Structure 1
Amino acid sequence: MHRMQHLTYFFHLSDFALKANIEQSIPALYETLCGVRVTLTGDPVSPEDATLIIMNHRTRFDWLFIFSYIIRCGPLRRFKISLKEVLKNVPGPGWAMQCAGYIFLHRKWESDQKTILRCLTYFRKLNYKPQILLFPEGTDLTPNTKARSDKFAEKMGLEKYDYVLHPRTTGFAFLVQKMRDIISLDSILDVTIAYPKNIPQTEKDILNGNFPTEVHFYIHGHSAKEVPDDKEGIEEWCQKRWKDKENLLENYYTDGKKFKASPVRKELCKDEKEIQKLFVFAHIFWTIFQALVIVFMIYAPILRWFSLFSCITFVLISKYGGIDALLDTEASELR
């Protein structure tokens, strides 16, 4: 069997396992055990679309909380996140994200172009319509990053923002154009995230139990046809969306900490009872799974050897570029 067929089969199995177990357990954990309440407003796009999701980056954990939206209104199995490249080397979660087809970026434009092309080409070979989350700001909002954004605004003659950072439009424009060329981009989902209180900025906040009591999302879907075709037009479109976000968040934080929009229509999301059943299943599955792992690790030496072999394999694969670097694609022909 051709190597790509092996990889395709492997990725399908890994992605299905991630969808059914790990990813649905993420919102199950913070919603049911940590008491985080999620409010969705606006209009999502069709879960069948090939979609680019763009979101402001308020904290390091925005990607975590968007799973509450995806599990209710999106295709969990086809949801992909663009992340910093270093995260692929995190033992366990980083390896799982590699198997799930997440996109890891170095923040170096020459290498990131190749990574994006390789991943999109692979999705096309699978006849796969991903929904990819991108943070155009490139980093989360902190005093230091805001100062850099303000400096950039002064240099370019732009307005300074208080609630968002100026987006890096080059990568956004490239991803839009290549998604159009390679996998037929259907829509862009503009997501604005806000926290009424208890904003966890760092890992220390999470470890100290400083979860937000609520997370609010404003969701606005755009057809890909609304976005210009040329690079300059795409960049300008993105800049306008961030200006809108600044105004939206200013109104949010100064006027009651609520988005002035209707809740997402029930027919566009899964039934909440179904969601709660998925959460219960996730808790039961992982409780049993962890208990079995402990038992077998104690009484089954072969499992200990297999675990060691798997860890060494993933460490080596990650060292030499990760699972995504093994993909046999013609990405270079599409540059």
Structure 2
Amino acid sequence: MGVASKLKDGFLSAFCLFLIGGAGFVVNVGQLLALVILPFDRHLFRSISTWLGSGFMIAGPFLLEDWGGCKFSAYGEQAPPDSKVLIVVNHGTDMDWAGGLSYLARLGEPFPGGAKAIAKDTLMYIPIFGWLTYFLEFMYVKRDWESDKKTLTKQANQLGTSRLPFYLCLFPEGTRKTPKKHAQSQEFCKKNGYPVLNNLLYPRFKAFTLIAMTMRDQIDGVIDATFAFEGEHPNMSKSLSRKLSCRCNLICQYHPMNELPEGEEELEEWLRNTWVKKDALLDEVLKDQEAFCSKQRKYEWKQEPLDYTKFFALVGVFCFFLVGLSVLMIVNKIIRRGVLVISVITWVAVVAALVINIRPSKVGEKKPDPETSSRRKKAD
């Protein structure tokens, strides 16, 4: 890749991040201002935050489809309108979140602002995105189950009081699939007599069973969603530089809550069987992708063009803010220095958070044995 091409990619990526970051900044400010309402009317605060959040969350489909160049299609069953739903989905790339938002954006208001997710807590500290999703009631976990169990139970009970429809997304695999993690997962399954999955990581059950049991009377059903890609798998860097060449297919099956078992062990078995079926589905996709996708066409949702008006309105407000701030910086030295310091701190935090979170999680990887390492050093 030449220097000119790298510069072009860098400019495109920076410009796209500017658009998304600007929209997110305005939403952050709006959410903070709306906090004065929270002690008196939580429903009104949720409504305002969700409405603002939709303007930012539509940036996911924009980045994946219109900017990045990936085609999106959704197939299968839909939940009834205005439902509260738990989604369980496989996790293969760092752009799965954008594909999920592409799906939700086609449901109409209050989506995609009604999106929720269970995610690692380090994401919460990403400036703009982390703060924004905190107010949208995302559930953040530390991957310390004794602590997470209390946190998830509290957050699930609070979210359950919402009068707004929502879709709560859970990646039961706990981390993105990589060759190393897939091999470890298969080894674990063989050792413990579990089904060996060819295309997926073996799921973790605790968060799923806790949410399903705690929110059983608050959610309407569970959607089993499967990402299947035609062509390359999308990733963040290619999306930002407009170099995606693929189709993202999301295949959905809806299960009303009364069809799911109630006990913890039975829920674990339900999720295990669901993952075995999902793995077989992906086997079928890989065997003959063209034939499979052709067969799925009759189950495809009607693809309406997405409306980005709210997103670009937020970007416009941010641009007016920048113009006003620039004038103040020109006439006042103290404001100029303050803005410079805050900008440097923010960008350092953003870069550090992205580096930490874009890499696949190390959860589940074997830690080196200190005694083995010591013996190796002595042998050397």
User: Under a length normalisation based on structure 2, what TM-score does the superposition of the two structures give?
Assistant: 0.71
Match of 2:286 in 1: 253
From the superposition, tell whether residues 188 and 306 of structure 1 become closer, same or farther in structure 2 (CA, over 3 Å).
farther
SS in 1 for 2:195: coil
* Residues 244-273 of structure 1: CA deviation (Å, up to 9, x unaligned): 01100011011125444344465xx6x71x
Distance 1:132 1:73 in 2: 14
Distance 2:144 2:40 in 1: 31
Match of 2:193 in 1: 157
Q: Which has the larger radius of gyration?
A: 2
Alignment equivalent of 1:58, drawn from 84, 89, 92: 92
Distance 1:283 1:129 in 2: 21
State yes or no: 1:225 paired with 2:253: no
Match of 2:313 in 1: 285
Match of 2:179 in 1: 143
Q: How far is the alpha carbon of 1:134 from its aligned partner?
A: 0.3
Match of 1:43 in 2: 77
Match of 2:220 in 1: 186
1:285 aligned partner, one-letter code: A
2:137 aligned partner, one-letter code: G
Alignment equivalent of 1:68, drawn from 93, 98, 102: 102
Alignment equivalent of 1:116, drawn from 133, 152, 163: 152
Match of 2:360 in 1: none
Would you say the 8 A contact 1:42–1:262 is kept in 2? Answer: no
**Which aligned pairs between 1:163-312 and structure 2 lie closer than 5 A?**
163-181=199-217, 183=218, 185-200=219-234, 203-206=236-239, 209-257=242-290, 258-259=292-293, 260-264=295-299, 272=304, 275-276=305-306, 278-279=307-308, 281-282=309-310, 284-300=312-328
SS in 2 for 1:47: coil
Aligned length: 301
Q: How far is the alpha carbon of 1:162 from its aligned partner?
A: 1.8
From the superposition, tell whether residues 265 and 249 of structure 1 become closer, same or farther in structure 2 (CA, over 3 Å).
closer
2:324 aligned partner, one-letter code: F
Would you say the 8 A contact 1:53–1:188 is kept in 2? Answer: yes
Q: How far is the alpha carbon of 1:293 from its aligned partner?
A: 2.7
* Residues 104-144 of structure 1: CA deviation (Å, up to 9, x unaligned): 11122112222222222222334344310000111111012
Match of 1:331 in 2: none
2:53 aligned partner, one-letter code: L
From the superposition, tell whether residues 212 and 231 of structure 1 become closer, same or farther in structure 2 (CA, over 3 Å).
farther
From the superposition, tell whether residues 199 and 17 of structure 1 become closer, same or farther in structure 2 (CA, over 3 Å).
same
SS in 2 for 1:294: helix
Alignment equivalent of 2:61, drawn from 27, 38, 54: 27
* Residues 285-307 of structure 1: CA deviation (Å, up to 9, x unaligned): 25423421320221246998799
Match of 2:6 in 1: none
State yes or no: 1:13 paired with 2:13: no
Distance 1:115 1:168 in 2: 18
Match of 1:81 in 2: 117
Match of 2:18 in 1: none
User: Under a length normalisation based on structure 1, what TM-score does the superposition of the two structures give?
Assistant: 0.80
Query: % of aligned pairs identical?
Result: 25
Would you say the 8 A contact 1:28–1:282 is kept in 2? Answer: no
Would you say the 8 A contact 1:138–1:167 is kept in 2? Answer: yes
Would you say the 8 A contact 1:43–1:265 is kept in 2? Answer: no
State yes or no: 1:91 paired with 2:91: no
Would you say the 8 A contact 1:58–1:194 is kept in 2? Answer: no
